[in-house]
Each structure stands twice: as structure tokens, then as C-alpha cells.
Chain A
Amino acid sequence: MITVHDETSIIDPERFGAVFDDHYEEIRRYIGRRLDLDTAEDLAADTFLIAFRRRARFDSSRGGVRPWLYGIATNLIGRHRRAELRRYRALAKIGPPPDGDDHDQRVVDRIVAGVTVGRLSGALARLSPGERDVVLLIAYGGLGYEEVAQALGVANGTVASRLSRARTKLRDSLGVEVG
């Protein structure tokens, strides 16, 4: 008998569709903000295919479904590291949005802070891959530190030290605290 705990919905192929329904869009969005959308759609599909194939090895005692899926997606993104950097470099050439383009208060705030897509992209490109994974899992995925550690399969202390280095680099690049 295959041992199952409370992750039956993951083990059961008939019920795995619910995992897809609940998380496909956020995983696609996470990848799509790091890579081009065509690649993101491919990788999002791959994420769930891999998750489906590995579902027997999913261990709920080591974290929830979300960190597990984000971890698979992040690994896949890692195979496209150069494409991700190319994207940041391309975005870095974009100037600030023209005045009056958007009156959303957040946009106003960020312009006041001088943080534009271009400058932020340049700053993200200067992080190490491990630092970038931690920062973007928090920024885009909304994961907590422990979930980030589960997703990346690293110790909590590793997450903390990567975060600390990333904060310093981002502050040096942008001149403001971003996290």
C-alpha cells in the first residue's frame, strides 16, 4: 500500500485537478513576471506536469502545496537564467513613465522614490540567482521565510543570509529601502 497522509488530493489523479485549478494562475503569473509570457505558459504547464508525476513524493510534513509548486517553478526558471537577465536588461532601458500616465497613488509613490521599472530591473539583474529567487518568491509569490526555505529546499538561515545580502545590494543600487 502506498502510504498517504492528508495529501490524498495530491496523490489521487482524479483530484489533482483541484490543485491545478487552485494554483495554475498564480504560478503562471509568477513565472510570467520573470520570463516572457510564451515561456511562462510552457513552464507553468511543466510545473503542474512535474508536480503531478512527483505527487507520490510530496510530503506535507515538509510544507504546503504552494511552496512545493513555487519550488518546482523556480527550478524551471533557473534553467532560463540568461533569458531572465536579458529581460531585466531590456527593461532597464525603459525610461520612467510620463507624468499623468497613471494617477494610482502607488505609482506616484514610486516615482517620488525614484524607483522605476528600468532602475529596479537593473538592480534585480545585479542580484545573484539565489538572492533573486528569495526576493521574488516573497515579492511575487507572497511566501513567508519558512515557505521560501521549503520551496528552495534550503535552511531557514540560508534564506535569511540571502535576504540580508539582497537588501544591501538593492539599497545600494536604488538608494532606497525596498524590503
Chain B
Amino acid sequence: MKEFRLIDDVMPDVLPPDPGTVAEARARMRRVRRGRPHAWAGVLVAAAATVAVIGAVTLTPKLGDVPGPPRAAGPIAGDSVAIPLDRASAVPGDVRTDTEHSPPQRLIAAGSLAVSAYSIQHWETVSGDLKELRRTWYLYNPGTGAYEETAWQWLDVAPGLRLAAVLEGDLPSKRLGILDMSTRKVLTWIELGHPAAGLAWSPDGRRILATSYGEHPDRVELVAGDENQMKRFPSTRTGFSIVDVATRQTRFTALGPLTHLGGADGGPTNMNARQDLEWNLDGSLIWGPTDSHPDRVFYDLHGQPHATPPETYVEYSKESAVSPDGTRVITGRPLRVEERTSGKTVGRPRVLQLLAWADDDQLIGVGCAGECAYEHRNGLVLVSADGKKSTQLSGFRENDKVGRWEWLLTRR
């Protein structure tokens, strides 16, 4: 007879969980394991509301120019290329959906956010038991309004959806290209002294943060050829380059990875090999991801540890948790939107995750199909902060496996 059976029999039991509770618990774990945040940093949220042309910067696609500060563009001619800094396309209330196709074929956008690209992963055998997780990127083409396949192994899209930064050839790569998303032509190449495998445009669209690695960061080794057993390698992150796009001036700073044991002081850990660095919300600092608490560690632009700035992020994401007007905040369990000053609950949108604020009243999140019988059958939804209104933005992905499409959200 089982010991203490009397206690088990007599003491009150609990009802089984509802699917939403299970999905939320699982989603929290998934957020930690994500190697790359999907959404774009949100410092331009205030600017987005003004829909103003901030200015333009020229760059000439020749190497060896004398470095200089970005300058305002006059009429664009010859081989000069404007870095578009306007948010003219972010029309309030403009919502673009493509719920018929998964992955999407036509632009998905709401408020100041858009799906600027998506990627699909697959395992590629490098040699013997060595495999790499590779991505095929489908990048939005503003000319055709469609997502089109590219050959780049890594990319990031600049705010405004006109330019993309791409890495040439196999990762890590020593050449960074600036791609015109409409003509699909590389406007200029920038040589990186230290090969990179991760990219992030600064919130103002003027600089690129490239994270460097010694080896491909998405590489594993099969144990005795068994597809179900993979050994992961420790991170080989070496540091980062900050590239000033207008001048092509590049500065590398060494910055090693976190490890699964944490630092010497037992601080945050990260056992992921890919530890891409990101800009903070105003582009004055950078941060590296952890797989523990706190969810990120900050550095100044010279790679020195920096105190955590007073910014509130969506957990394990580069998105601001605070609404563009500063009045509301996305907060934790149960997932909800709160008034920042009073702490009063504004609403509890029925989604698996809230990814980012599209405008002052609406957020983009991950929603389940139907009644959420299977949480990995999910897609992008636009929800109101009070949780009362929901619009499906994309078709549903079928599962959580390698091979499903992964969105990249960018300020448009």
C-alpha cells in the first residue's frame, strides 16, 4: 500500500489546468530558449506617431572614403544612396493581413510594425556528424509588396523597410552588405575585420551592430550519428563591430560570451552558442542575452559592463513593454496590460505572447488557432490593449518544429 495514502485521499485535489494555462507556462520557457528576438527595438515609437520625415543621410558605395559624420541629403543623384529615415508608410490604422498563406506572401503590418522578413530553418550536414542550422530568408520587397527568397544566410532590416544589412556567404562572414530592398542590389560592401554571424540595425537606422564569432554559432554534433542526440558547442562569441553606415567606419570591440556556469560572481548564465548583441531602446547602449535572470546584461558601446538603464522590456525580447505614449505596460503572469501609474489592469488579451506595441492602443501578439487545442498552431494577431478586439494578421503555423516560418518584426 502506498505510504501516506490517507493524506493523498483526504486532502483536497486540484482540477486539471485549462489549455491556456499550460500554453502560457510553455510559452515562458520558449521565450528563454529563443536565440534571436523577433521584434525590433521600439525607441522610435514616439517618432512613429508624428509620421514625419526625419531626414536622410547619403552614403557613397565606394570603399576608402574619408570618414565623416552623416550629412543631410539633398537631391539624390549619381551613386549616392539615401538612408531613408522617414516613417511615411506608418499610417495610423493601416493594417495589412495575409491570413490565407502560411508563410505569408503579402505584407503583414499594423501600426508602426511590419513583418519585414521571415526565415525558415533547416539542418545542413557540414561533414560527418557536424550539422549547422541554416536559414533561408524571405525578404519583403517594397516594389512588389511580396516576400521574396534571398540567398543571404543572415540579415536584418532597417527601420523604414527600405534597406537591409546582409552577410555574405557562410557564417561567420567578413563582408557586410547594405541591400536596397526594392532593387535587391547591394549598394555597398563593408569589410569586417572580425567575422560576424548576427546583425542589428540601430533604432535610428544609422548604425549596424554586428556580433562576431569564431565558429558558426548554430552548429551541433550528432552523438554516434543519432539524429535525436545533439551535442552543442560552447559559444565562440568574440565581440562586436559597430558600423557607421554613412561613413562605413567600423570599430571592433572584444566581448566574450556568457557561459552555462555564469560569470565568476555566479551571475547570469547563457548556454546558447548564439549570443547576438542588441541595441537598447535609445541606441546608447548594447545588451547581451542570458538564459537566466536578469534576462539581459548591458554594456556601453566600448563593451564595458553598464548599469541596467530604466527601460522596461518584453521578457527576453528587444521590444519595449511600454506603450508609445508611455501610459501602459505589458506585464507578467497572468499576461496582461496595465496602467503604468495606477497598476490597474487595462485588459488581458487572449494570446500566447504579446510581442510589441503597434500603436498606443494595439499590440501584436502570438495567437492560437481556434480554442488553442494545440498551442504551436499559432500565428500573428493584432489585439487591443483591453483585450476586447482581435484581428488575425497571418495564417497559422502548424507546429513548433524546425522548418516553420519565423517572423522578423521591424518598425516601418
A120 touches B11 (CB 8 A): yes
Residues from chain B with a CB closer than 8 A to the CB of A91 are 12
B2 within 8 A of A: yes
Contact status of A13 and B33, CB under 8 A, knowing A2-B260, A24-B25, A178-B7 = yes
Chain B: which residue is nearest A14 at the CB level? B402
Report Cα–Cα, A48/B17, bound state, in Å: 16
A8 touches B228 (CB 8 A): yes
Across the interface, B230 reaches (CB within 8 A) one of A12, A49, A55, A117, namely A12
B230 touches A8 (CB 8 A): yes
Report Cα–Cα, A79/B365, bound state, in Å: 33
Across the interface, A49 reaches (CB within 8 A) one of B21, B29, B231, namely B29
Chain A: which residue is nearest B293 at the CB level? A53
A48 touches B14 (CB 8 A): no
A8 touches B269 (CB 8 A): no
B402 touches A140 (CB 8 A): no
A41 within 8 A of B: yes
A45 touches B271 (CB 8 A): no
Chain B: which residue is nearest A56 at the CB level? B260
Which residues from 1 to 48 on chain A have a C-beta closer than 8 Å to any C-beta of chain B? Answer: 1-2, 4, 8, 11-17, 20, 24-25, 28-29, 32-33, 37, 40-42, 44-45, 48
Chain B: which residue is nearest A117 at the CB level? B10
A106 within 8 A of B: yes
Contact-residue size bin, chain B (C-beta under 8 Å from the other chain): 35 or more
Across the interface, B16 reaches (CB within 8 A) one of A13, A14, A25, namely A25
Tell me, rounded to whole Å, the shortest Cβ–Cβ distance linking A35 to chain B: 10
B185 within 8 A of A: no
A49 touches B26 (CB 8 A): no
B1-19 interface code vs A (CB 8 A; 1 in, 0 out)? 0111111111111101100
A179 within 8 A of B: yes
B221 within 8 A of A: yes
Which residues from 219 to 256 on chain B have a C-beta closer than 8 Å to any C-beta of chain A? Answer: 221, 223, 228-234
B29 touches A37 (CB 8 A): no
Chain A: which residue is nearest B133 at the CB level? A14
B188-232 interface code vs A (CB 8 A; 1 in, 0 out)? 000000000000000000000000000000000101000011111
B269 touches A53 (CB 8 A): yes
Report Cα–Cα, A75/B223, bound state, in Å: 34
Contact status of A2 and B6, CB under 8 A, knowing A8-B223, A33-B12, A40-B14 = no
A2 touches B9 (CB 8 A): no
Residues from chain B with a CB closer than 8 A to the CB of A115 are 6, 10
Across the interface, A33 reaches (CB within 8 A) one of B11, B24, B400, namely B11
Residues from chain A with a CB closer than 8 A to the CB of B184 are none
Q: How many A-B residue pairs have CB under 8 A?
A: 122
Tell me, rounded to whole Å, the shortest Cβ–Cβ distance linking A121 to chain B: 8
Residues from chain A with a CB closer than 8 A to the CB of B231 are 1-2, 4
Contact status of A33 and B4, CB under 8 A, knowing A4-B231, A12-B230 = no
| Chain A residues within 8 Å of chain B by Cβ, number | 50
Which residues from 30 to 57 on chain B have a C-beta closer than 8 Å to any C-beta of chain A? Answer: 32-33
A139 within 8 A of B: yes
Report Cα–Cα, A32/B13, bound state, in Å: 8
B60 within 8 A of A: no
Which residues from 264 to 320 on chain B have a C-beta closer than 8 Å to any C-beta of chain A? Answer: 269, 271-272, 291-292
A117 touches B25 (CB 8 A): no
Report Cα–Cα, A14/B402, bound state, in Å: 9
Residues from chain A with a CB closer than 8 A to the CB of B21 are 41
B344 within 8 A of A: no
B66 within 8 A of A: no
Residues from chain A with a CB closer than 8 A to the CB of B333 are 41-42, 45
Tell me, rounded to whole Å, the shortest Cβ–Cβ distance linking A178 to chain B: 5
B350 within 8 A of A: no
Residues from chain B with a CB closer than 8 A to the CB of A142 are 2
A138 within 8 A of B: yes
Across the interface, A179 reaches (CB within 8 A) one of B6, B29, B400, namely B6
Across the interface, A139 reaches (CB within 8 A) one of B8, B17, B29, namely B8
Q: List 9 A-B contacts (CB under 8 A).
A: A8-B223, A17-B26, A45-B25, A53-B292, A117-B12, A120-B11, A138-B4, A139-B7, A178-B7
Q: 11 other contacts beyond A17-B29, A52-B32, A178-B4, with CB at 8 A cut-off?
A: A1-B233, A2-B234, A4-B223, A4-B229, A32-B14, A41-B25, A55-B271, A56-B260, A120-B7, A138-B3, A179-B6
Q: Which residues in A have some Cβ–Cβ distance to B below 8 Å?
A: 1-2, 4, 8, 11-17, 20, 24-25, 28-29, 32-33, 37, 40-42, 44-45, 48-49, 52-53, 55-57, 91, 106-107, 110, 113, 115-117, 120-121, 124, 135-136, 138-140, 142, 178-179
